Amino acid sequence: MSMQDTVQKVLDAATADITQPNAVPGAVMYIADKTGKQVAWAAAGVKQAGKPDPMTPDSVFWVASCTKLITAIACLQLVEQGKLNLQDDVTKYLPEMAEVKMIDGSKPKRVPTVWNCLTHTCGLGYSFFNPALKALEDKKGRKVIDAFDASKESIMGPYVTEPGSEWEYGMGIDWAGQVVERVSGLSLNDYFQKHIFAPLGIKSASFLPKTAGLADKLVGSHYRNPEGIISPNEHWLKQEESKIEVHYGGAGLWANAAEYCQILVALLNGGTHPKTGGKILTPESVEELVKPQLDEKLAADMDREFPNTDPTLSNYFEGCTVKGVPKNWALGGMRLTVEHPMFKYSDKSLFWCGIQNSYWWADFKDGTCGMIQSQIGPFLDMGTLGILAQIQPQVHAAYAK
């Protein structure tokens, strides 16, 4: 059976009956190899539970934290041009961030660098993973997800750890996205379109999908309750596009799997796509993008717990989903120093995910990349992960040298 047929069979089974345990309403998966060859591209199910509109391979999902990789690429492009230094204090480019305080109201001992922002060592967190930030939202009388309203205020901290002192997954890459805007003079959406998407032929990725004419391709949001029952859910990123003040460099993008993977194909080839010839980075910058960045102490912080302060958004987990496995953070995503225990990503892989269960990988050893998307919450949905766990090890086995 071809990989295309295998993927289609797995997706069809996963979406056949959403009343079954770990079923999903709809899903898309795309897989490619280093040559740019499409290994599989399949879709199954529906875009919105209870509605007949079928999921199609080119359906557009909110990719959430999958945005982070692209913001890191944008930063390295500006480094290549001599316009940005990752070791500069972020306040050199964003002077207003000098006003951000610690969570107790005190002044931080130092301000973070752009590098700190890209590596989650800047001191910022996420309220859905940090109880102290969740408590602040409780005092304001609003839900955690309502804090993500694309306003300027939403990215103004506070710090939950001293900048540079600990690894804390959070909004630092949103700050990095603001740096890209300030240095380039473009909105983050316009920067991505011009300098990353256009060279790779990407046409259906945007921070403003409705404005971009993609409304008919957008996938609906879903929630799986503790009993396993799936229901349609309001989109988590729901601000009207005309009122968006901040393009979240860490979470704001909408895209389809096939086009997102063209970025990964380019990275597997040193920054130049083998089919389009589009170049987004030099080989040296790609090496920097995927290189583990953290010292031993900061890397050890990654094995911390991730409390699910709002269980509708994320399941509880520890160790960045792989507790006890040696790991590090690269500018572009997560690295393991051993093979991934479930998905068989090699120790030369870069990978990450989005909170509504989009997951991507780029394996620099076996030369494959891929993405699975389902748009369901909470994060770490076992139905979506089950699809990936059935397919990705087969891909690795077929291409491993």
Q: What is the DSSP letter of 58?
A: T
- Name the active-site residue from 30, 126, 169, 191: 169
- Name the active-site residue from 65, 314, 346, 349: 65
- 227: Cβ–Cβ under 8 A, 6 or more apart, which residues? none
H and E: helices and strands count for the chain: 11, 14
Please answer whether residues 125 and 307 qualify as being in contact, where contact means their C-beta atoms are separated by less than 8 angstroms.
no
- Name the active-site residue from 68, 134, 327, 344: 68
Nearest Cα neighbor of 78 from 199, 204, 202, 178 is 178
DSSP string over 135-176: HHHHHHT--GGGG-SS-SGGG---BSS-TTTS---STHHHHH
Burial class of residue 335 (count of CB atoms within 10 Å of its CB; 0-12, 13-18, 19+)? buried
The secondary structure element, H or E, covering residue 76 is helix 67-80
Strand ranges across the sheet with 376-377: 230-233, 221-224, 376-377
3-state secondary structure of 317: strand
Query: Is 68 a known active-site residue?
Result: yes
Tokens of 196: 């990353």
Give CA–CA dist 225/325, Å, rounded.
29
Query: Is 243 a known active-site residue?
Result: no
Residue 230 Cα to chain centre, angstroms: 23
- 347: Cβ–Cβ under 8 A, 6 or more apart, which residues? 336, 337, 338, 339, 365
**Long-range contacts, 143-147 (Cβ 8 Å, 24+):** 143/310, 144/309, 144/310, 144/313, 145/236, 145/310, 145/313
Give CA–CA dist 130/310, Å, rounded.
10
Cβ count near 279 (within 10 Å):
14
Give CA–CA dist 201/278, Å, rounded.
8
The secondary structure element, H or E, covering residue 349 is strand 349-354
Q: Characterize the bridge pairing of strands 221-224 and 376-377.
A: parallel
Query: Is 65 a known active-site residue?
Result: yes
The torsion defined by the Cα of 140, 146, 148 and 153, in degrees rounded to 10, comes to -30
Residue 218 Cα to chain centre, angstroms: 17
Catalytic positions, please? 65, 68, 169
